[in-house]
Amino acid sequence: MIKIALDAMGGDFAPEATVEGALLAADELPSGSEVVLVGQQSVIENQLGGRQPSAGKLSICHAPDVIRMSEHPTKAFTQKPESSIAVGFGLLRRGDVQAFCSAGNTGAMHVGAIFSIRAIEGIIRPAIAGFAPKITGGHAVILDVGANAEVKPDVLAQFGHIGSLYARHVLNIERPRVALVNLGEEEEKGTLLTQAAYQLLKLNRHVNFVGNVEGRDLFRDKVDVIVCDGFTGNVILKLAEDFYDLLEEHHIFEQLEGKVDLDFFRNFNYEAVGGSPIIGVNGNVLIGHGVSSAMAIKNMCLQAARMAEAQIHLKIKKALSED
């Protein structure tokens, strides 16, 4: 039985969007699964209005406090032990749930992951992963997209390893192609950082390293795992999100409906994936966009269930212990 904890109070549109998303997710999760809504019980019950999903189950775990978006992450997490984020991590740490999701304060979620369930032994820096649509369908995993703005070559090399494990076990890509974001395909291109990382990835027997990848090739199905520092990854992620927003704002989808296959372009919408996993910690943690809709919340919970089924954190732990 899979239990997914969801911060019902997290996000710009909580609790409306989170509760609606939980109902949608529970209907699509495998039989016997459960979504645990973490937050102020009376608020959640009022939002539910007696509704229950037809397939999976919903339950409530009371957490009287809330960490607001504007609060300092470390201070808020330590000073508010009864916040929905802190209580959610408590459930995950004790094994009461198999994953924890929130569209709330990103910094507090990152702090909670590092200090509550902690990094897997051997992980240099946990990464936040994003997803890049492929023109042929599906997504490539990209890491890091914001947790580590500055890194060293060995960190980038490890991103390639753990990203490859995620792609294989969660995205079901048998032999993921790993590439390093650079300003040219040639081995000698780039900064001293990317040149050194290239050599480490090239020698890493755990990854199927295919070399450098340029920005123009990120969505052309040339790679399954895109490796970069968090600064570069965040720029790529935000650019992709705005590309979708521009198509929406200018009604391009409406104009092209029925004329071309728009699935690839719709996959640029953050709702398609729902959330970004923190990879490299002792548990399944996903961070949603602050403006997450009910659909995004649903897809975040479904992704969390796939991570839990794959036991990805345990597979990463096992792989690192065998090095």
The predicted model scores a pTM of 0.93
Assign 3-state DSSP to the chain and report helix, strand, coil percentages, each to 5.
45, 20, 35
pLDDT in tens, the chain (323 residues): 899 999 999 999 999 999 999 999 999 998 888 999 999 999 999 999 988 887 679 999 999 999 999 999 999 999 999 999 999 999 999 999 999 999 999 999 999 999 999 999 999 999 999 999 999 989 999 999 999 999 999 999 999 999 999 999 999 999 999 999 999 999 889 999 999 999 999 999 999 999 999 999 999 999 999 999 999 999 999 998 888 888 888 888 888 887 767 888 888 888 888 999 999 999 999 999 999 999 999 999 999 999 999 999 999 999 998 87
Tell which CATH classification among 1.20.1260.10, 3.30.390.10, 3.30.1510.10, 3.40.718.10 matches the domain 1-121+280-310.
Answer: 3.40.718.10
The class level of CATH for 124-270 reads: alpha beta
Which residue shows structure tokens 């927003």?
245
Q: At what angle do helices 153-169 and 312-321 cross, to 10 degrees?
A: 130
Q: Fold match between 1-121+280-310 and 124-270?
A: yes
Q: Which token pair is 297? A: 């919340």
Residue appearing with tokens 């609606």:
20
What gap in Å lies between CA 301 and CA 179, rounded to an integer? Answer: 28
Answer positive or negative: Cα dihedral of 220, 224, 227, 230: positive
Cβ burial, residue 136 (10 Å; 0-12/13-18/19+): exposed
State whether residue 255 is helix, strand or coil.
helix
* Pair of tokens at residue 148: 């580590």
Q: Where are the domains of the chain?
A: 1-121+280-310, 124-270
